[in-house]
Amino acid sequence: MDRTIMPQVSIVIPVHNQPMLILEAVASLKAQSVADWEAILVDDGSTDETPAVLENLASQDARISLWLQTQQGAAAARNTGAAKAKADWLLFLDSDDWLAPNALGSLLRVAGQDVHLVHALGLRVCGSRSQDRSQVHLPRGDLFHRLASTATFMVHACILKNSTFHELGGFDETLMGCADWDLWQRVIRSGARCRGVDEIVAFYRQNEASLSTNYEQELRDGLIVIARGHGPDPRVLRPHPGYAEGISLAEFPAAAYRFVSWLAGVAIAREHSVEGIVRGMQA
């Protein structure tokens, strides 16, 4: 794509080491049915040959740009990339995940001036086995009520209006995990209009790196996001009247219990210790 042509969507990809995986992510972009995209690679302080691999990718395709920063975490890297984005729509893709060839076409097909978020379906992939543990059905009912208690969307399976992202302050860089959940919660609280696409458009690679979860940190961040959903959020300056005060605080204990139970179940299924979860509950 000529750099003078405005892309329809900016794809932000934070990268930290594991350079071979980014090749598959970028290949999935080049296979898209929609060609007018830009990919913004943000190297988040890699300590191996990743920067050289990224430089090579950027030199081969004018649609790909590269930005380097010291290691600050995925949320900060996503914010860095979004600040460079030219398109009206943003998509956040992790470097070890990839998109279906129909992803951008399907998401953009229902996007419009009156729409702020388009969400679709994602699938977890563990080794050579696809698993349908991620969202494989569009959520029903009140989206804010769901997002007050659970992460409803897979971040790679959504496009968000660039202007909406910046109006709401982007990703919370104090959260090591759950930052996308926190963002979607703010988006829906703001009264943003959403549309769903009943197609699988993204794939999340569940590998050894993704399994080495800091459960104590995950618990802390998840409970922060749930608490925010059960009260006012001053970061949303013009909330939808029905969501300004959040969900009733009386529902918080049940929501927190469900999240802790889910996280413990994940740890047990992965044959990991639940000590971090116990420590987090005692803190």
Reported as a pLDDT band with limits 50, 70 and 90, residue 260 is: confident
8 A C-beta contact, residue 33 and residue 104: yes
Reported as a pLDDT band with limits 50, 70 and 90, residue 207 is: low
What angle do helix axes 179-189 and 215-229 make, rounded to 10 degrees? 10
For residue 9, the 8-state DSSP code is E
Which one is predicted more confidently, 138 or 202?
202
For residue 69, the 8-state DSSP code is E
Q: Work out whether strand 89-92 and strand 129-131 pair parallel, antiparallel, or are unpaired.
A: unpaired
pLDDT digits (tens, 9 = 90+) for 9-34: 999 999 999 888 899 999 999 999 99
Residue 210 pLDDT exceeds 70 = no
Write down the mean pLDDT value for the chain. 89
Residue 239 pLDDT exceeds 70 = yes
Q: What is the pLDDT of residue 244?
A: 97
The DSSP element (H or E) to which 82 belongs, if any, is: helix 74-84
Q: Which two tokens stand for residue 9?
A: 């969507």
pLDDT digits (tens, 9 = 90+) for 261-283: 888 887 787 777 777 777 767 66
Hey, what CATH topology would domain 9-207 get?
Spore Coat Polysaccharide Biosynthesis Protein SpsA; Chain A (3.90.550)
Q: Give the ranges where 117-251 is alpha helix by DSSP (H).
A: 143-147, 162-167, 179-189, 208-211, 215-229
pLDDT digits (tens, 9 = 90+) for 122-155: 987 765 545 544 445 677 778 999 999 988 888 9
8 A C-beta contact, residue 88 and residue 49: no
Q: Work out whether strand 194-205 and strand 98-99 pair parallel, antiparallel, or are unpaired.
A: antiparallel
Query: CA dihedral defined by 227, 163, 108, 75, rounded to 10 degrees?
Result: -50
Domain boundaries, the chain: 9-207, 215-282
Phi, psi dihedral angles at 20 (to 5 degrees): -70, -30
Detail the DSSP E strand segments found in the chain.
Answer: 9-15, 37-44, 64-69, 89-92, 98-99, 117-126, 129-131, 158-161, 194-205
